[in-house]
Amino acid sequence: MKTVKKKSGVATESRNIICEKHYVTNADVKKIREELLKWYDKNQRVLPWRDIAKDEVDNNIRGYAVMVSEVMLQQTQVATVISYFNKWIKKWPTISSLAAAELEEVNQQWAGLGYYSRARRLHEGAKIIVEKLNGNIPQTAEELEKLIPGIGAYSAAAIASIAFQKASGVVDGNVIRVLSRMRVIGVHVSKPGVKDHLWDLANKLVSEERPGDFNQALMELGAEICTPQNPHCTDCSVKDFCQAYLKVKKSTKTGKLDSYLKKNSWTRGKVKPSTEDSVPDIENAADCYFCLPDSVWEENPQVVAYPPKAEKKKSRIEKLGVVVVEKGNKLLMMRRPEKGLLAGLLEFPSVIFPEDASVKEQSSAVDQVLIEISIPIALHSSRKYIGKVVHIFSHIRTTYIIEHLAVDKSVKVSHASKELMWLSEEEFQSAAVSTAMKKVLAFVRKSESSPKKQVSSKKRKLVAEDSKQRSIKSFFNK
């Protein structure tokens, strides 16, 4: 790996030192492939997309199934994806049937999986494949990444190897963890050169005869054995090639980890490794870019020290006012913008409150939302406060401050730029609605079944002004 340093205005080239232990030898590659595939053949989980990839003779059906599974598996656990995948394939069994679907249908089918932009990109990709590629899914990682929106380097390599047996390595979260431990890479993956090195390792390791099975085995190892916490090291088929495991094992010779081994679960109750075993020398080299600093290892002398964790970013805090407007047995819904968070989904009329907004300012903001959808001002004071629901997205902690407004049949709503519609509760449950909105409605229905004195929005505003309370939290906890 090269870096460029500037001294006295002149750029000079220097090299970061990388220890040999961060690479794999040809001999190790051969044994790792053999042991990992042997383990996978015996222990692989039965998953519907694997069955299709294994048994289906049609290239496009096979590629389509793997593509759907890989997009669904982004940021979502396998156990959750299985039922969604089965329903999806039943509804749209081919790439052409998905391309012919309306985006609204796609969003409905995706509801509950989160990260809704994935569904939109999957739909866009299907249309591109049908309209521009004659319905033929690209078979190489390079073409998949280049031609299909939403297919990145990992997904492209996974589809190419699993569906089409192309010898492309994969690097996802599980693989990053396995390879970082296997080759004691003590630098976070976000640092320059680290991910490139991991890709190089993955591409060298991948089996040319069984690339799909090998990649799935490597990912399966990370999911089932080489877990983030309490890894099952003694059950690992490639532990003898794992430098982190050998480093811990070597430390037992000095007695430094005796107490640790007795307390922690990586041994899973089995006999401690013999201190007589021959363990290769894997000490840090001076100035190695990838080596974990000795001081960090001494504080956490265990396998889970790899890979090093990134600093956790705080979630953004948001407060939204949301009004559940009902006319008879119908609920008023608005379409969200086609770009951004929850793109294209339906939601109740809502507004993001400015930070530190007073109760009066929050109420005025909700008033404005109702004015924009043509609900008469005279009805605004009949809004009833219901309560608060918290929903956590991957990077946002959102508090929905919920109000309810019943209007009569004479009220007609409209908006200058947003699509509005009235849905029955049954239609609501099957529509393209986010989990957060379903939580909001469930909270409203629960409040209706629980005897509770409702406080009108107008009265709530007057009380807040009289008491000069700035925070809605302090008002409702009074």
CA distance 113 to 81: 8
Helix (H, G, I), strand (E, B) or coil at 14: strand
Q: Using alpha carbons, list the distances in angstroms from residue 135 to 101, 117, 352.
A: 15, 22, 42
Q: How many Å is the maximal CA-CA distance in the chain?
A: 87
Alpha-carbon span 285 to 299, nearest angstrom: 19
> H-type helices in 44-136, by residue range?
48-55, 59-73, 78-91, 95-99, 103-110, 117-132
For residues 198 and 187, what is the distance between their CA atoms, to the nearest angstrom? 11
The Cα–Cα gap between 163 and 182 comes to: 27
Rounded Cα–Cα distance for residues 216 and 157 (Å): 11
Q: Indicate which residue of 35, 70, 102, 143 is catalytic.
A: 70
Q: Is 70 a catalytic residue?
A: yes
Q: Yes or no: say if 389 and 399 are a contact pair by the CB < 8 Å rule.
A: yes
Q: Is 18 helix (H, G, I), strand (E, B) or coil?
A: coil
Q: How far apart are CA 289 and CA 221, in angstroms?
A: 27
Residues involved in catalysis: 70
